[in-house]
Structure 1
Amino acid sequence: MREHPYSEDREEINELLVQYENLKTGRGHSFLEEEAFERIIDYFDERDDLPGALEAAETGLEYFPYSSQLLIKKADILLATRKYHEALEVLEHAELFDSQDINLFILKTDAYLALDQQEKAVQLLEDALQLFTGEERIDLLFELSDVYDDYEEFDKVFDCLKMILQEEPGNEEALYKICFWTDFTGRNEESIKLHLQIIDEQPFNELAWFNLAASYQGIKLYEKAIDAYQYAIVIDEKFDYAYRNMGDAYIRLRKYKEAIEALEKVLELTRPEEVIYEAIGHCYHRLGNFAQARIHYRKASHMNPEDSKLYYKIAATYISEQQWDNAVKNLDSAMRLQKSVPEYNLAMGQCKMEQEKYKEAIQYFSVVIRSKAKNVAGWEALIRCLFKAGFYEEVLEQCRAALKATDEKPLFYFYACAGYFSLGMPKEALLYLEHGMEKAPKLVKKILELMPAMLQNNQVVDLIARYKKGHKI
């Protein structure tokens, strides 16, 4: 075994370069073998000296005109210099001396693609697949999958990767790639069958278990996905992507405690990421642990202070606790980054309304309506705010506008009813109440929450009772 192989290799190439210079200039009686020319070409190519590499190839071919390897290397350099037609001519020449060299097919494919002749590239590779077996066939399938990817024939990309795995179930590159393409093409059922076959042959292949789990997740079989991720983790306890995806599956099942455990494991194994902190914050939020939710949202926010959504989520935890001042501060931060987001304005309007700053609240709700004219939540918030502020005439006006904008959502008949009652116009109020009860009797709860005094009116009670007989309220 050589102790200093790098040093010896450098000495050898330096000696070859001296002999090559002597050969070109006619000094001495140097003779270089075919393999020596190949090494010299590679030397220039690795240093991005393409003219030098091309000259070495042409010099070598003067001495070895029937060398398919030197012709292939020359074609490779011509491709790098965008001389595609010349490269194809050289490859045709090389094929006369060795038609079974896989590099012929790969370089021809590159030339056809550069000339925008996809059909020729595909046909060439498909024909070549019949000529090769083993690793060379696998290489061609990868090449063909890249061609299909370039030309957006994505199902055929999946097909190539599937063929690779059927021939070589443990091929890591194919296992990594097919996970993405399964999700992209939606071919989850096929992927499940394929990976179950792989696992039968290789039960300790963690990538196959991971891909199986991801495919189950793709068709919303979250319990099965979690089981498969668990197998992947047993085989490789540091498989952070398995923990990450498992956390997502638990969230989908609303198993937030289990999701937190999985996501915290991701933080142990990899560099912290904003998206993981945000997901953990979401879980705590759902569990009603608003303080922990805020801690994790803030960690995410520190990693990406330009993400307005995170300030909004922090504000949402304060809204849940009715801490309006703190909610407003965070909504201010969110809206400094993105002012016109309807959700932010809706939340700010709610806070201002709870603080009895009705005019400010109305301004925010108006922004929501201008952004989303058909959005029921925006109209409802505005009308409730006007009602609490005692602007009953405006309530009626906005109810009419809401009915028109939302294709007569029944909810606004009830709010109009409340507006008419508040203005001392019971006849009109009962008319709107009846319209609402005809269309959606369950929504009467909304108006009774807003104006419980209506139940002191016998006509209201009778009207509601009449509809109760035919509908469960």
Structure 2
Amino acid sequence: MKFNHEEDDNFSITRYESMLRSNDVKFFDSDEFESIIHHYLENGKIAKAKKAIALGLSQHPSSVNLKLLQVEVLVFENRLDKADTLLAQLYAIEPENEEIYIQKANILSKQNNHVKAIELLTMALTYTNDDADVYSLIGMEYLFMDDFENAKISFMKCLEVDDHDYSALYNIIYCFDFLEEHEEAIEYLNMYLNKNPYCEVAWHQIGKQYFDLKEYEKALASFDFAIISDEYFIGAYLEKGKVLEKLKRYNEAIENYRITLELDDPTSFALLRIGKCHEKLGNDDLAIQHYSKTVHEDPLLDKGWIAITDFYMRKREYQKALYYTNKAINIDSENVLYWKRYAKINNRLSFFEEAERGYRKALELGNYEIETWLNRSDILRFIGESDAAIQNLHQAIEFYPDNAEVQFRLAGLYYEMQDFEKGEYHIRKALELDFEYHIVLEELFQKIFNLTMVKNIISEYE
């Protein structure tokens, strides 16, 4: 009986692992060792790969391919000097071995010398029988340099060699997207589809380009062609659902999202979108049901918790909104979006100390939006913490030095504390920045606004 190549590899691995268990050393030819080592490397079993390399070299000490695999492991472990020395020895033996150039380029890439890495990979093209693989490596080096134009050209060359290299196709579109060349991407994909009319990946990608250009009917047609090409293509159904949502065809969108649930395990994204569609249709019970399924499927997905919270906030059911926000915070207390909602809901419920805590936590987590600073200062003042409110606003000035709302609030607070000198300084600063915002003083600090000294200052700027 004749084994195929895959069966041969499996037999070699089984025989090799049996040898390790029995501690009885058997002979394997160098090709067998290569397939065994590749198997371990592909499965991330580096220690086993290193042992196989050592055994392989003990039986085949002159094998260049086994030594190249040793170099690959050394590079992976960042032992670049040792890898470089070994490559120099191998170059002296086989100067036309493309893998030597590829591994040397890999070392240079790790050292951020991408230009030299590209030079070596270009030399490797002279000797390789796998142009597509080398062009792909060159493309990745250009990506490391943020040279998206040359990266795009390199990946296009991959696709010229192998028009089923979908990884290259995705990389090409990634470059087009980064360069914001949506029309050019569509033109390229149409050229590709002329040669490969049933390529679901290309139809999917052209649909996404039309979506970005807000040409929703064309996007819809593209995703339909992707589904015709492969009726099990989950990504096409998801993207089609998104387009149908944009067209306000919510029932059809739900149907496409449901198909993805039937084709594979439920995804939190599909469940969330179904919930959003039901909410738009006024099906509140079904909406909240799907939002609940979303967070059950993926408790770490903040969009799920936010959907539930915002749903109840829109209904003005603040206690329920707070309940779900607290659940979300218990799962991920470092999520600033949760704390912002926590603050807003507590504010609506007149739980001002808790609202202040929410805004403070949001600031601690790096949410420096002006509204966060302003809301926190207003609450601090309301609960009698004027000094803290002033300190908070001075911190805001570091990020928004020319914001009139901040300056007017500081003026009001200083006048309330009878520090007239600082009050005048900040009111003048605020009026110079934006006179119209003096309404902030009128609304929040009415007594201060009505002071003669304040009215006189304002009149100077009218």
* TM-based fold match above 0.5: yes
What letter corresponds to residue 151 of structure 2 in structure 1? Answer: V
Q: Pick from 345, 348, 351: which aligns with 1:347?
A: 345
Aligned position for 2:327: 333
Paired with 1:151 and 1:418, the residues of 2 have a C-alpha distance of: 52
- Relative distance call for 1:319 and 1:113 in structure 2 (3 A) is closer
The answer for the alignment partner of 1:458 in structure 2 is: none
Query: 2:186 corresponds to which residue?
Result: 192
Tell me which residue corresponds to 1:53. 56
**Matching residue's letter, 2:200:** E
Q: For each residue in 1:406-460, what CA deviation from the matched residue of structure 2 results, as whole angstroms up to 9, or x when unmatched?
A: 966958728946996xx9x9999xx9xx99xxx9xxxxxxxxxxxxxxxxxxxxx
Unaligned runs of 5+ in 2: 16-26, 39-47, 75-81, 383-407, 414-425
Pair member with larger Rg? 1
CA distance in 1, matches of 2:4, 2:301: 53
Look up the match of 1:39.
31
SS of alignment partner, residue 60 of structure 2: helix
Q: 1:365 to 1:142 in 2, by over 3 A?
A: same
Aligned length: 378
Task: Work out the CA distance in 2 between the residues paired with 1:57 and 1:112.
Answer: 29
* Equivalence map 1:108-119=2 (5 Å): 108-113=104-109, 117-119=113-115
Deviation at 1:233, TM superposition (A): 0.9
User: Post-superposition shift, 1:206?
Assistant: 1.0
Contact kept, 8 Å, 1:342 with 1:367, in 2: the verdict is yes
Code of the residue aligned with 1:124 in structure 2: it is: L
Contact 1:44 1:50 (C-alpha < 8 Å) held by counterparts: no
- Distance across 1 between alignment mates of 2:357 and 2:228: 54
C-alpha distance after superposition, 1:137-195 (max 9, x if no partner): 21221232233345554543332212222444333332344344444554433322211
TM-score (norm 2): 0.64
Q: Distance in 2 between matches of 1:139 and 1:265?
A: 36
**SS of the residue aligned with 2:227?**
helix
Distance 1:295 1:175, change over 3 A: same
Quote the residue 1:84 is aligned against.
84
Alignment of 1:112-127 (within 5 A): 112-113=108-109, 117-127=113-123
- Tell me if the contact between 2:210 and 2:216 (Cα under 8 Å) persists in the aligned partners: yes
**Which amino acid counterpart does residue 148 of structure 1 have in structure 2?**
Y
Q: Which amino acid aligns with 1:413?
A: I
Correspondent of 2:355 among 355, 358, 364: 364
Q: Is the 8 A contact 1:374 1:405 kept in 2?
A: no
Instruction: Tell me the secondary structure at the aligned position of residue 375 of structure 1.
Output: helix
Q: Could you say if the C-alpha distance between residues 120 and 286 of structure 1 is closer, same or farther in structure 2, counting changes exceeding 3 Å?
A: same
Which is worse superposed, 314-323 or 198-207? 314-323
**Residues 248 and 103 from structure 1, CA distance in 2 versus in 1: closer, same or farther, beyond 3 angstroms?**
same
SS in 2 for 1:83: helix
Find out whether 1:374 has 2:370 as its counterpart. Answer: yes
Cα displacement string for residues 272-324 of structure 1 (whole angstroms, at most 9, x for unaligned residues): 12232222223333344332221111111222335565444323323333434
CA contact (8 A) 2:409 2:441 kept: no
Q: Which residue of 2 aligns with 1:301?
A: 295
**1:206 match:** 200
Cα shift readout 1:84-133 (whole Å, capped 9, x = no counterpart): 222233223213xxx3x54454344345446665433311222444666x
Give the whole-Å Cα distance in 1 for the aligned partners of 2:347 and 2:202: 50
Counterpart-to-counterpart distance in 2, 1:128 and 1:164: 15
Secondary structure of the structure 2 residue equivalent to 1:305: coil
Q: Indicate whether 1:74 and 2:67 are aligned.
A: yes
Q: CA deviation at 1:241?
A: 0.7
Q: What is the aligned-residue RMSD (CA, Å)?
A: 4.8
Structure 1 residues 398 and 365, CA gap change in structure 2 (3 angstroms): farther
SS of residue paired to 1:259: helix
Distance (Å, rounded) in 2 between the aligned partners of 1:285 and 1:122: 53
Find the counterpart in structure 1 of residue 262 from structure 2.
Answer: 268
Match of 1:93 in 2: 93
What is the distance in 2 between the residues matched to 1:397 and 1:117?
53
Alignment CA distance shift 1:38-1:116 (3 Å): farther
Confirm whether residue 139 of structure 1 aligns to residue 137 of structure 2: no
Relative to structure 1, is the Cα distance of residues 405 and 366 closer, same or farther in structure 2, using a 3 angstrom cutoff? farther
Aligned partners of 1:191 and 1:167: how far apart in 2?
Answer: 19
Q: Percent identity?
A: 20
Deviation of residue 205 (structure 1)?
A: 1.2
Q: Kindly tell me: are residues 330 and 104 of structure 1, through their superposed partners in 2, closer, same or farther at Cα, counting changes over 3 Å?
A: closer
Give the conservation status (yes or no) of the 8 Å contact 1:129–1:137: yes
Q: Does structure 2 conserve the Cα–Cα contact (< 8 Å) formed by 1:84 and 1:114?
A: no
The residue number in structure 2 matching 1:175 is 169
Contact residue 188 and residue 215 of structure 1 kept, 8 A: yes
Secondary structure of the residue that 1:263 maps to in structure 2? helix
SS in 1 for 2:164: coil
Structure 2 residue aligned with 1:413: 439
Measured in 1, the distance between the counterparts of 2:116 and 2:35 equals: 32
Q: 1:236–1:266: structure 2 CA closer, same or farther, 3 Å change rule?
A: same
Shift of 1:246: 2.4
Residue 7 (structure 1) shift: 8.4
